[in-house]
Every structure is written in C-alpha cells, then in structure tokens.
Amino acid sequence: MIRANSGYLECDFLLQIQEFIFSRPIIFAQSVFGYPNWLDATCFEVSMKKLMGLLGACAMFFAGIASAQVKDMPGGPAVNQLNLFSGATQIARDIVWLHWLMMIICIVIFIAVFGVMFYSIWAHRKSRGVKPATFHEHMGVEVAWTVIPFIIVIAMALPATRTVVAMKDTSGADITVKVTGYQWKWGYEYIDGAAAGVKFLSNLSTPRAQIENKEPKGPFYLMEVDNPLVVPVGKKIRIAVTAGDVIHSWMVPELGVKQDAIPGFIRNVWFRADKIGSFRGQCSELCGKDHAFMPIVVKVVSEDDFAKWSAEQQKLLAANADDPNKEWAPAELIARGEKVYAANCVACHQGSGKGIVGAFPALDGSKVVMGPKADQIQVLLKGRQGTAMQSFASQLNDVEIASVIDYTRSAWGNAGKGQDPVVAPTDIKAAR
C-alpha cells in the first residue's frame, strides 16, 4: 500500500492551480499581442513570477511525496508494499500461499489460451492463403475443454477448502475473547483465561490535529488505539465477533482473520500468533461516517507478560468496580449493602440479623452497629482476631464495606436508632 504524507501540501497546490488559471489568460494575451499598453511590465513580471512559483510548487509537491517521512508500519502496511502481508500465523501464511498458487495457475492458463489464440490468428491469416477448416462438433475437443477445466477447478478447490475448514475450526481454544463492533470503536471482553472478566473499549488514538492537517501525521496515523487487544503468543485465541449497532468487520491481515460482526449473531474465528509484536487492521465493512476511524491493534506478548498484564487488569477491574469517590446517596448505599450482606454475611449473622446464639452475635441491636462508625469500620477492616469474624479489607472494596455497614445500621430494629447512620466510602478509604 502506498501512503503519502503530503496532505498539507495539497491545499497549497490547489491554491497555486487557482492562481495559474487566473494568470494564464494574461500570459496568453501577452504572447499573442505583445505588450498591450494596458499591461505594464511589472504586471507581466508578477504573472511570470506566479508561473515560476507554480512550477516550483509542483516540484515541491512531487518531491514532498517522495521525501515525506513515511516509514514502514510494523504490523501494518509497508511503504510501497505490493505483495500481501508476511503473516504472523500459519493460516495467514497459508492464505498468502493459496493466493500465489491461484495466481500462478491463472497466469499459466492466461498465457496458454492467449498464446494459442494469437498464434492461430498470426499463423493462419488470410494473406497466407490459409483455408479455414469447416468441421462441426468435435468430440475430442469438447471432452478436453470440459475435463481439463474441471480438473483445474478441483486442484484449486482442494487446498483452498483445507484452509477454509481450518479457519473455522475454533475447537480447543486457550482463550476466548468477545469482540463487539460499535459505531465507531471496538469492545473487547475476555471470557476465560487469566484475564477473564476484563473488558474495555478500544478507541482510535490518533490526535484530531493530525486528521485535520494541523500537525504532521505520525507513523501510525489512523492505525493506533488507546487500548489494544492483548494476547499471549503461541496460544489459540478464539474471537467471538458480534456488533452492537450495525454490521462491522474485524480484520487483522497479519493474523489471517477477517470476520463480519453482525448484530444479534456471534461468529467465531481464531488465530494463533507465532510472533511477538503489534498487528494492525481496520474495520472492513462500511459502517457509517467514522468507518475509517475504528482501527484494530492486537498486541501479542509473551506468556509472562500476558500474566502480568492480566493481573494488572484484574486489579484495575476490582478497583474500578465501584468508584469510591462517587457521591452515593444513602438509599443507594443501603440497597447496595443489602446485596453485599446477602453475599458475605448471612451465613453467620443470618438474614434476620439475629445471628446464632452462642456462635455468631446478633447485629440487630448490636452495640457496635448502634455505636460510633469508627468501631464498626475497624471490625470489618481488621476482623476480630481469633474468631470467625475475618477481615474483609481485601475481599470487599470501599463502597462495598461502607454500604454493608449502612445496611446493618438501617435494617431490622436498628433503623432510625444508633449513631452515625450514614458511613461514606471515603470514610473506609480514610480508615484503611
């Protein structure tokens, strides 16, 4: 693919053309009529200067194309790339191989057919006195031109079918990622593996100023994203492709993957990258105004790096599940707390808050629950040494702890009594 980084020269060039069109009649008039007296020398000079300026601009324009700082894009198209991609998966290389096989077969047929045709026209021309044959229905020829193409088609279909079947075989995948096309970005969600549950949106990260020609274009112009899809090298990655609005298409040539993303359907494809690196593609189904602005970047990393990245993402996920700085209304916190209580506390303290006599204290009417908030926060963050009341500091986030405290302070007979009925997530953050 040939990419020229000369957009900012184009405007200039158009301006020069405009000037050229306006100055040309004057130059033409001068050449026909000599110096008309209404046109003085300075005006002529100005016109000539404009013409020279235009020629200069033309030279600059073409030089600009040649010398613009366009470099090969790793994982994407290279400058003056004419062949297909080199391929980071076996399937991608099979596709390239098939392309050349078909191409060569076609060229051989082309040369054979046109060779016979041109030879016949030349060797049997009328001026040589050649008499045309007048036979009809030649059995041998008819059988030959049916059987030979049939054999050729089968010879082409066999390897192609093998590759297409392999492309569709998503069995035994190590990791499954759900990919959703949106107008105009991609959503990624890890279904299993170390990063299970991690999900994010992947947006174009090329600055607006580059698109509007206010800044020179970067080396990854329109082929860069804020959050790439990260996968481990050598693992079979199943991609479950769907869309949230209109039809898109997830295509990464180097990985040999191209799959339409259709709302309401899930289509599975897969790849197993055997090289570490970033591989780039684009949405390849016209999906509206910003179709050209939803690139795809797949970052293939080592298994160790993937484990590290997954752990980081999981941590972020836990931290972001609830934003502790959000202003929660007390009612919201209590509603949330009821769920946290049901999931984490009922086994011991019971749904009724009455606990189990002799084993688990009642929270309904408990002095701690009715007392100052600091004490209860400490019980939840530190637990009670040597008892079944463990610390919840690492299991629950600030919002969850605050909300379950608020719930216990407002449920059962506790409602409206006791001190500090509302504990905010920021209180928990401060006490940690």
Q: Pick the closer one to ligand HEC by CB: 232 or 361.
A: 361
What is the number of H-type helices and E-type strands within the chain?
12, 10
Count the Cβ atoms, other than its own, within 10 Å of residue 185. 21
Is residue 191 near ligand HEC by the rule CB under 6 A? Answer: no
Stretch near ligand HEC under the rule CB under 6 A, chosen from 59-67, 70-78, 310-318, 346-354 = 346-354
Is residue 381 near ligand HEC by the rule CB under 6 A? Answer: no
Q: Pick the closer one to ligand HEC by CB: 90 or 378.
A: 378
Q: Enter the tokens of residue 425.
A: 């997530």
Amino acid at 147: V
Is residue 379 near ligand HEC by the rule CB under 6 A? Answer: yes
Is residue 348 near ligand HEC by the rule CB under 6 A? Answer: yes
Candidate list 389, 393, 422, 431; residue touching ligand HEC; CB under 6 A = 389
Is residue 366 near ligand HEC by the rule CB under 6 A? Answer: yes
Q: Give helix 7-33 / helix 41-67 axis angle, nearest 10°.
A: 150
Residue 368 CB, shortest distance to ligand HEC, in Å, is 4
Choose among 156, 150, 153: nearest CA to 97. Answer: 156
Is residue 387 near ligand HEC by the rule CB under 6 A? Answer: yes
Candidate list 237, 287, 334, 363; residue touching Cu ion; CB under 5 A = 287
Is residue 185 near Cu ion by the rule CB under 5 A? Answer: no
Is residue 368 near ligand HEC by the rule CB under 6 A? Answer: yes
- Mind giving me the DSSP string for 374-421? HHHHHHHHH--TTSS----TTTS-HHHHHHHHHHHHHSGGGTT-SS--
Contacts 24+ apart (CB under 8 A), 273-277: 273/88, 273/89, 273/231, 273/233, 273/234, 273/237, 273/298, 273/300, 274/88, 274/89, 274/90, 274/233, 274/234, 275/88, 275/233, 275/300, 276/233, 276/300, 276/301, 276/302, 277/74, 277/75, 277/88
C-beta separation of 358 from 407 below 8 A: no
Site for Cu ion in 246-265 (CB under 5 A): 248
Candidate list 408, 411, 414, 427; residue touching ligand HEC; CB under 6 A = 408
Task: Tell me 55's DSSP state.
Answer: H
Candidate list 175, 229, 237, 345; residue touching ligand HEC; CB under 6 A = 345
Is residue 283 near Cu ion by the rule CB under 5 A? Answer: yes
Q: Enter the tokens of residue 210.
A: 């580059």
Query: Which of Cu ion, ligand HEC, none interacts with 363 (beta carbon under 5 to 8 A by kind)?
Result: ligand HEC
Is residue 411 near ligand HEC by the rule CB under 6 A? Answer: no
Q: Pick the closer one to ligand HEC by CB: 94 or 398.
A: 398
Q: Which residues bind ligand HEC (CB under 6 A)?
A: 344-345, 347-349, 360-361, 363, 366-369, 376, 379-380, 384, 387-389, 392, 404, 408
